[in-house]
Structure 1
């Protein structure tokens, strides 16, 4: 299993950053997600499911994303999802925003990726933590850059 936790400070209002995670804005911070359709929306968000399609090059992969944690207050926003990719990886990812002040937000991106079978575990070992760190760093920088565009 590979786990990650990356924390940065974004010089933007917490609401500005949080809006980037809205269903109609998600492609700004996840450009490879070419489709994100609600399947079953639950009151209170937790348990809601979405059909998400990810494209890398010519390869497209669709999977079901489930909301497993959700909190939304004036000073803290938190959302955690999980999905199984290609029957090979079980992924959980959490996005947490903490209001430092009116124009400063702490963004914490954490999660884990676990191989569901021999192939998945082998691929994670081959991919290594360096590649995962690169993906995580690129994601938090994209969130920062998109938030600053709205500031």
Structure 2
């Protein structure tokens, strides 16, 4: 299993960032444009155990898989969402999104991703995998959240 972790400060409120991770499909697509669909299969009151069926476009292929909520915390100062899914019967993947309010306009975003190969030949592939995608994802979340936060400040004035 391989794990990557990236932490980044975002100049936006914690709720603005959280909306991108735990919101509607349209919000999610702003930071994950390859997600084509995100439908609830089972939703629990506490969040943990909820399952969503996602469709994801990789090149010309469309993968469909169930995403299970493994951890869920939603308080004003701290938010956490951990999901897990199996991709193409080849990898077990978890994604952990953690948000901490630094102040009302600044959020600390920590993204941790694990990837466990389910077939022996994939272990070598993972051995050489870099954190490039994790870094790009964090930068995209920062860019989108900050742009949207600036736009909401302009509308309020």
TM-score, normalised via structure 1 length: 0.93
3-state secondary structure, aligned to 2:129: helix
Distance 2:4 2:62 in 1: 25
Contact 1:77 1:97 in 2 (8 A): yes
Contact 1:13 1:99 in 2 (8 A): yes
| Two-structure CA RMSD over aligned residues (Å) | 1.1
Contact 1:46 1:69 in 2 (8 A): yes
- 5 Å matches for 1:53-92? 53-92=55-94
**Shift in Å, 1:60:** 1.1
- 5 Å matches for 1:24-103? 24=25, 25-103=27-105
**Which of 136, 141, 147 is equivalent to 2:145?**
147
Q: Which residue of 1 aligns with 2:5?
A: 5
Q: Which residue of 1 aligns with 2:17?
A: 17
**Shift in Å, 1:7:** 0.1
The unaligned stretches of length 5 or more in structure 1 are: none
**Shift in Å, 1:81:** 0.2
**Shift in Å, 1:124:** 2.0
Contact 2:113 2:134 in 1 (8 A): no
Count of residue pairs the alignment pairs up = 147
Deviation string for 1:6-43 (max 9, x for gaps)? 00000111111111111331111111111111111111
**Shift in Å, 1:57:** 1.7
Distance 2:5 2:123 in 1: 20
